[in-house]
Every structure is written in structure tokens, then in C-alpha cells.
């Protein structure tokens, strides 16, 4: 864990080499190249870096109860609206700590803004940011229709706090795929972020993670466990984020097709839909069993009446992404079967779990908008934790 004093920003001069790095077809060829040997130290310093500013909130109110928000803000594409929503919404405006999942820093798709920094400055909260990837392209599906070149070109996770962040660390989690070979070519690997704050004489360890989409149930458990294992000793421990508990393994089309067929034959289509909101019961048991074994609770920490994301077959982008994973014959059948739900069903994939504090409230804010524009594909969730 690194003690955070003052402020520190991640900067580099690697942008001039992005095209050169992209020209390598295989990761092994790149790693064995003279180019990598010459630039290895800078590359590793950047992708394993940590950015922070502990000067934005100096004398916060000491409380017996704090509100912690977790929100996958979808790169920060609607950053201005997200800032306004945090300021104006009656529930989010009371946030003391924010786990901000999917933050861009110097990406053309988000106008090369430092999303975590700007959000923290606007809300007058301290922050730390851990990059997972140095992104070499324009973005993923639906994000490439822009002409801006990446600058810092980082993507990762941030924690914002009204209270000084005593220390923090990016946590490398077990990888599930090589992102250098993906359609969105990147260097680096998935990381969680762990930080510690002190409120009213109580130390609070915070963990934030965006678990890999292309993961199995066991992969998801292993990645979250790595974050929990990185916690410093604290009075209260709280972990949250986008755990991608979709009840599916999206790594290969063939495996996914077999899972879909198996579900249809065992629990039926309606049963599969119901499991989207209760992944802990069957298809994502490993991650929740691991939490319980380590003394963490998730019941009470989460609003179980509302989903945190929606699978909407009517959404063109969702439909385009679905074709990457779902064979066409299954997608056609899925469209037919989803008609009773008007093509849209909720999933619970964003979560909190913790130990050491007492939860008094947990809520989900559905489909937040600003001037009729939806701010993210995820819903923000929050939990109120009593410290005494």
C-alpha cells in the first residue's frame, strides 16, 4: 500500500509509439522485441501506476454514518451530466465515498478528459485512480465513431472520498484473457483498487473492481478474492463494483451456446431470467460462497428489488454486442422468447459486500438521466453504513 500525500498525476510520452506497438500482431513478438526492451520501464510504470489528489477535501464533517456509492459510469462518456446528477440528485448528493468504475483518462472517445480527476474536482472530493490498461485503439464496439487521437490513453477504476485517503494500491487480479489480441487492443491487465480512509476514528478499507466480462463463475470469484486479500487491517471493510455476475461465461460462443441450451433444458427460459436477479443461488455461487467464507455479508448491502443493468434486445448497441457472443440461431430464439418482457430484462451485476459496519439502507437509482440523456448503461447503487 502506498501512502498518499499531496497529489500525483500519471503522465508519459508513449503516445508517439501507439502505432508502432499496434503493428505487433502477437504479444510474444512484442515482448521479445528490441522496442519493448527499450521502453519496458516506462510502459510498466504507466500501467502499474497510481494517480491521486488528496488536497480537494480538507476538513470533512465527521459522521457516525456514511453513504458509499458504486457506479459504473461507462467510461465517463456523459461526464458533465454525471457531475450534475451527483450534485443535484437528492440521494447521490449525500455521497461520502464513490467507487467510480470504468474511468477514462486521456481517451479520444471521452474527449481526452481525465474523468476521475474532473469528477473529484467538481464534487470537492479526494481521489485515487488505478489504470488497468494502456488502450491502443479508439475503443470497443460502439465507441470508434470519433476522430480524436488518444493522449494519456488509460482506462481504470477510481475511488473518491470526502475524507483523506491514507493509502491505496492497484491490485492485479488473475487474468482471464490476453487483451493485446482483443478487438480493443490494450497493454496491461485487469486491476482492482484498494484504499483506506479514516472516519470518526474508524479505519475503513475500500475495494473497487470491474470484474472481467469474459470470465467464468470461478474467474469472477478469484478476481474479487484478490482484491479482498489486498485489504489492509481496518475496522470496517467494504468492497463493491461491477462484478459481471451475468450467470454466463462469455469467453467463447460455443461454451455460451451450450450454457443457454442447458439452462433451457433444466430451469427453462423463465427460470434463467429469474436467475439474472439472483445469481448467488446457482450460476454464480462461487463468488458469493467465497465472500461468506471470508466473513463478508452481501445480504442487506444490496437493493434486491431492482437490477443494476438491463439486457435490452431492442437497443441497437446491445444487439450488436450480443452478436459477438450469441450464435445467430440462438439470438433469434432469444428475441422471440423475450417478447413477454418487451425485449428487456434486468440483471443484478453491481454489488456491495462488507464486514465490520452496520448497514442501515441500500438502494438502486434506476436509469439516471440528465436533460433526457441516459448517463450510463448501469444504475448507481449505494449503501449507508453506520460506524458505531
State residue 343's pLDDT score: 74
Number of independent structural domains in the chain? 1
Q: What percent of the chain has pLDDT over 90?
A: 79
Pairing outcome for strands 236-242 and 202-210: parallel
Average pLDDT over residues 154-182: 96
User: Which H or E run includes 331?
Assistant: helix 328-337
State residue 388's pLDDT score: 75
The answer to the question of residue 124 being in a domain is yes
State residue 319's pLDDT score: 54
Listed as own residue / partner, the contacts of 337-341 with beta carbons closer than 8 Å and 24 or more positions apart are: 337/269, 338/313, 341/273
Least confident of 88-92, 167-171, 247-251: 247-251
The answer to the question of residue 326 being in a domain is no
Phi then psi for residue 369, to 5 deg, are: -130, 160
323: pLDDT strictly greater than 80:
no
Measured CA to CA, the distance from residue 83 to residue 69 in angstroms comes to: 14
Which residue would you say has higher pLDDT here, 314 or 349? 349
The predicted-structure confidence for 102-152, as pLDDT tens digits, reads as follows 999 999 999 999 999 999 999 999 999 999 999 999 988 788 889 899 999
**Contact predicate 82/371, CB 8 Å:** no
**Average confidence score pLDDT of the chain:** 92
State residue 189's pLDDT score: 95
324: pLDDT strictly greater than 70:
no
State residue 249's pLDDT score: 77
The answer to the question of residue 283 being in a domain is no
State residue 114's pLDDT score: 98
Measured CA to CA, the distance from residue 318 to residue 334 in angstroms comes to: 13
Measured CA to CA, the distance from residue 141 to residue 298 in angstroms comes to: 33
State residue 253's pLDDT score: 64
Average pLDDT over residues 54-69: 94
Residue 195 pLDDT level (bands cut at 50, 70, 90): very high
* Residue 30, CA distances (Å) to 33, 132, 135 in order: 5, 19, 15
Could you say which DSSP state residue 363 is in?
E
Residue 342 pLDDT level (bands cut at 50, 70, 90): confident
Average pLDDT over residues 227-236: 98
State residue 368's pLDDT score: 96
Measured CA to CA, the distance from residue 292 to residue 286 in angstroms comes to: 10
Measured CA to CA, the distance from residue 92 to residue 369 in angstroms comes to: 13
What range does the domain containing 361 cover?
2-190+356-386
Average pLDDT over residues 249-265: 73
Average pLDDT over residues 280-304: 97
The answer to the question of residue 42 being in a domain is yes
Amino acid at each position: 500500500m502506498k501512502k498518499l500525500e499531496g497529489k500525483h498525476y500519471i503522465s508519459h510520452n508513449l503516445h508517439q509509439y501507439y502505432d508502432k506497438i499496434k503493428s505487433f500482431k502477437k504479444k510474444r513478438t512484442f515482448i521479445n522485441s528490441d522496442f519493448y526492451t527499450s521502453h519496458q520501464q516506462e510502459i510498466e510504470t504507466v500501467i502499474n501506476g497510481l494517480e491521486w489528489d488528496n488536497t480537494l477535501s480538507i476538513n470533512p464533517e465527521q459522521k457516525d454514518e456514511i453513504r458509499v456509492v458504486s457506479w459504473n459510469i461507462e467510461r465517463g462518456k456523459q461526464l458533465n451530466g454525471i457531475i450534475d446528477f451527483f450534485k443535484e440528485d437528492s440521494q447521490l448528493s449525500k455521497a461520502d465515498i464513490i467507487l467510480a468504475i470504468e474511468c477514462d483518462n486521456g481517451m479520444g472517445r471521452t474527449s481526452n478528459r481525465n474523468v476521475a480527476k474532473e469528477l473529484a474536482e467538481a464534487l470537492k472530493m479526494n481521489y485515487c485512480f488505478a489504470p488497468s490498461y494502456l488502450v491502443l485503439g479508439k475503443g470497443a464496439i460502439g465507441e470508434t465513431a470519433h476522430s480524436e487521437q488518444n493522449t494519456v490513453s488509460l482506462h481504470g477504476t477510481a475511488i473518491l472520498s470526502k475524507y483523506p485517503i491514507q493509502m491505496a494500491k492497484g491490485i492485479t487480479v488473475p487474468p482471464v484473457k490476453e487483451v493485446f489480441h482483443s478487438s480493443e487492443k490494450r497493454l496491461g491487465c485487469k486491476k482492482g483498487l484498494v484504499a483506506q480512509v479514516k472516519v470518526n476514528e474508524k479505519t475503513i478499507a475500500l475495494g473497487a473492481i470491474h470484474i472481467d466480462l469474459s470470465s467464468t463463475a470461478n474467474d469472477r470469484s478469484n478476481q474479487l478474492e484478490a482484491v479482498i486479500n489486498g485489504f489492509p487491517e481496518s475496522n470496517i471493510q467494504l468492497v463493491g463494483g461491477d462484478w459481471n455476475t451475468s450467470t454466463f461465461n462469455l469467453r467463447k460462443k460455443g461454451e455460451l451456446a451450450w450454457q443457454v441450451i442447458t439452462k433451457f433444458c433444466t430451469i427453462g427460459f423463465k427460470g434463467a431470467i429469474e436467475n439474472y436477479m439472483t445469481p448467488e443461488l446457482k450460476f454464480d455461487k462461487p463468488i458469493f460462497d467465497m465472500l461468506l467464507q471470508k466473513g463478508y455479508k452481501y445480504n442487506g448491502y444490496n437493493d434486491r428489488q431492482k437490477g443494476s443493468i438491463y439486457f435490452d434486445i431492442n437497443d441497437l448497441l446491445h444487439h450488436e454486442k450480443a452478436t459477438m457472443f450469441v450464435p445467430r440461431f440462438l439470438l433469434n430464439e432469444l428475441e422471440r422468447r423475450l417478447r413477454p418482457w418487451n425485449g428487456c430484462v434486468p440483471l443484478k451485476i453491481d454489488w456491495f459486500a462488507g464486514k465490520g459496519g452496520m448497514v442501515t439502507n441500500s438502494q438502486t437509482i434506476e436509469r439516471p438521466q440528465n436533460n433526457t440523456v441516459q448517463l450510463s448503461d448501469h444504475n448507481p447503487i449505494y449503501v449507508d453504513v453506520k460506524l458505531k
